[in-house]
Copies of this chain bind each other. A is one copy, B any other.
Amino acid sequence: MKVFILYAHPEPKSYNCKLKNKAFTTLTRQGHEVKVSDLYAMEWKTVADKEDFTELESKDFLKYQVEQKKRKLTEDILEEQKKVEWADLIIVQFPFWWFGVPAIIKGWMDRVLTSGWAYSWPNIYDKGPFTKKKVLISTTTGGPDALYTDKNLNGDIIQILFPVLHSFYFCGFQILQPNLIFSPAHSEVDRKRDLKSWAARLKKISEEKPLPFSRQDEYCELTSLKKTDMDILMRKK
């Protein structure tokens, strides 16, 4: 497989970096090809604005998504798109900040997943362009797992991840079960154990089945989905 690791953490000695490195070495040893975007090291431009285009269709009124379709994109965006096109699997590795991805990852999504390339109505979800590719979200939290259930104050982490998972599914990607590591800051023993089980999982990653998200033909306007993707995430099948 061709694996693209999209990684962000401001500290190269962080546990997130170790998880990224473990993925790199494990997958490489299994014979997979691996490319990495280390967004902090790349000083990735995070803010979506008119500087993202080498030419503007409309100079006096920026319609960002309309300009994206024209594909007069800067080189940094095109380079990331080439990695996405190349990859069979994208691993997104980041610390869980404010119940979501750090700004630098969101800026990658805002700028790289362009209209007309990553999606174009009605080519979304299971009709999206990337249905042959998979995405695996891998993240670490500050709080303990006990706080992240639907019966505790934070809410279920898988519900909280819904917008991120569904953003990638919007472009067609098959979504693998996320790799969730709770509160690794507190125990070296747990950190080692979780690094090991991450490597063990990655050794068999090609065999994994994606989450059974809904397809376009399961609904039509004004009728209902039998079960929602949120239900599926919450395993209330």
B48, B153, B166: which contacts A125 (Cβ < 8 A)?
Answer: B153
B64, B99, B113, B151: which contacts A225 (Cβ < 8 A)?
Answer: B151
A212-B63 Cα distance, complex, nearest whole Å: 37
Which residues from B are CB-within-8-Å of A153?
A: 124-125, 214, 216, 219, 225, 229
- Does A211 lie at the interface of the complex (its beta carbon under 8 Å from any beta carbon of B)? no
- Does A154 lie at the interface of the complex (its beta carbon under 8 Å from any beta carbon of B)? yes
Which residues from B are CB-within-8-Å of A14?
A: 62
Chain A residues numbered 154-175 whose CB sits less than 8 Å from any CB in chain B? 154-156, 159-160, 162-164, 166-167, 170
- With CB as the reference atom, state the residue of chain B lying closest to A220: B152
- Does A21 lie at the interface of the complex (its beta carbon under 8 Å from any beta carbon of B)? no
Which residues from B are CB-within-8-Å of A152?
A: 219, 225
B103, B167, B214, B228: which contacts A104 (Cβ < 8 A)?
Answer: B103
How many copies are assembled? 2
B99 and A166: CB pair below 8 A? yes
B46, B160, B224, B230: which contacts A103 (Cβ < 8 A)?
Answer: B46
Which residues from B are CB-within-8-Å of A97?
A: 48, 109-110
A153-B164 Cα distance, complex, nearest whole Å: 14
A162-B48 Cα distance, complex, nearest whole Å: 23
DSSP majority for the A interface?
loop
A35-B128 Cα distance, complex, nearest whole Å: 42
A180-B203 Cα distance, complex, nearest whole Å: 44
Query: Would A63 and B11 be within 8 Å (CB), given that A103-B110, A159-B162, A160-B162 are in contact?
Result: yes
Q: Can you spell out 17 A-B residue pairs with CB atoms less than 8 angstroms apart?
A: A10-B64, A11-B63, A13-B61, A40-B49, A47-B103, A97-B110, A98-B109, A98-B167, A99-B163, A99-B166, A100-B167, A101-B106, A102-B106, A146-B221, A151-B225, A153-B214, A159-B159
B49, B104, B155, B185: which contacts A10 (Cβ < 8 A)?
Answer: B49
| Given A47-B103, A152-B219: 12 more A-B contacts, CB < 8 Å | A14-B62, A46-B107, A98-B167, A99-B166, A100-B164, A100-B167, A103-B106, A107-B107, A125-B153, A150-B230, A153-B216, A155-B228
